[in-house]
Amino acid sequence: MLYLVASVVALTVILKMIQGGHKRPITLVPLNKQATILPNPSKGESSIYRSALRVPQERADKDGFVLCSEQHVETLYQIFEKGAAISGDQPFLGHRVNNGPYIWQTYKEIASRRTNFGSGLLNLDVTPGMEGGRRSFIGIFSVNCPEWVITEQACYAYSLVVVPLYDTLGPDSIRHIIEQSEMSVVIVQANKANAVLQLIASGKCKSVRVVVVFGDAKAPLASAENVRVLQFAEVEALGKKNHRPHVEPKPSDWCTLCYTSGTTGEAKGAIQTHANIVSDIAAVMMMIPDDVTINRDDVHISYLPLPHAFERAVRPITFWISQSLTPCRWWLLWR
């Protein structure tokens, strides 16, 4: 994933360098020693290759490898919190419907909606962190839209694990992911809701207790026993009336379970911790020269599907940059 993230950031940096007449090459490690090779105890597998980038000890693990770009910013929750604290009333998230004008929400507005929605989930008996001895997995089934982002940030604020679902998986893989992760809540766009509700009505996906729907449905929603169907706005309103304090995740906590497309069989879930993604981002940010700046007029257009690990790793870079420089806006194309 590091190479994927690096490619888009590198392109942005190169364009900025050309625009600004920047000529200094970026060479942080010898080109013939870009990785440290570690032994792999697993039989039949290759050695483990780790980046040779090193940082000051306060931002590194015991072996000197990159953990974070800034001390005390070691989780995706902390990245957004610091960005929101500094950027506040600046535009953060824009979307449009049917090619109309872009509607913007600020960092502060999204932070508030994130807390309301996360509190709402907890008031629906979702347990944060490892309360009760197990993690809570929250499914998201939607195109790129503000509700996707709000759900994701709510999960980070309350130590819940995000499990993205997407159309190309097909109904069998969606069923497999829901059942394997034992997710209790699915956040779903209205025109995709019946795909989930019909699975439940057929006696499958028995772990799901709540389905949260948003947007306009093109057909009546299917009914399913023992499942509560709520509107996204209802969950936000519930949380607004019954606020819960954030349950801050640790760097070692799971933040997401990313499933493959299942081209070699059933979809397989890859566990990603907050530390995994933050260290990835930090390593990429080390490659950006100090005199290459991204300012408040720069906009990240989110067109790659949000379930994609690439898109989900690029976005926090814009949050992080907005902390130390000037705010970056984030643009969603909602089709």
What is the spatial distance between Cα 261 and Cα 44, in angstroms, rounded to a whole number? Answer: 25
> Is the predicted pLDDT of residue 329 greater than 80, yes or no?
no
pLDDT digits (tens, 9 = 90+) for 107-124: 999 999 999 999 999 999
> Is the predicted pLDDT of residue 80 greater than 80, yes or no?
yes
The residues, any chain, with a CB within 8 Å of residue 83's CB and separated by 6 or more, are 107, 319, 320, 322, 323, 327
DSSP designation for 37:
E
What DSSP assignment string belongs to 261-276? Answer: --TTSS--EEEEEHHH
What is the spatial distance between Cα 328 and Cα 301, in angstroms, rounded to a whole number? Answer: 11
Would you place residue 184 in the very low, low, confident or very high pLDDT band (cuts 50, 70, 90)? very high
State the CATH class of domain 2-27+42-332.
alpha beta
> Is the predicted pLDDT of residue 60 greater than 70, yes or no?
no
Tell me which of 211 and 292 has the higher pLDDT.
211
Cβ pair 216, 123 in contact under 8 A = no
> Is the predicted pLDDT of residue 196 greater than 80, yes or no?
yes
pLDDT of res. 18: 43
Mean pLDDT of 36-40: 82
**Alpha carbon of residue 289 to chain centroid:** 26
Token look-up 């929250």 returns: 138
Mean pLDDT of 24-29: 55
pTM: 0.82
pLDDT of res. 208: 95
pLDDT digits (tens, 9 = 90+) for 303-320: 788 888 778 877 887 776
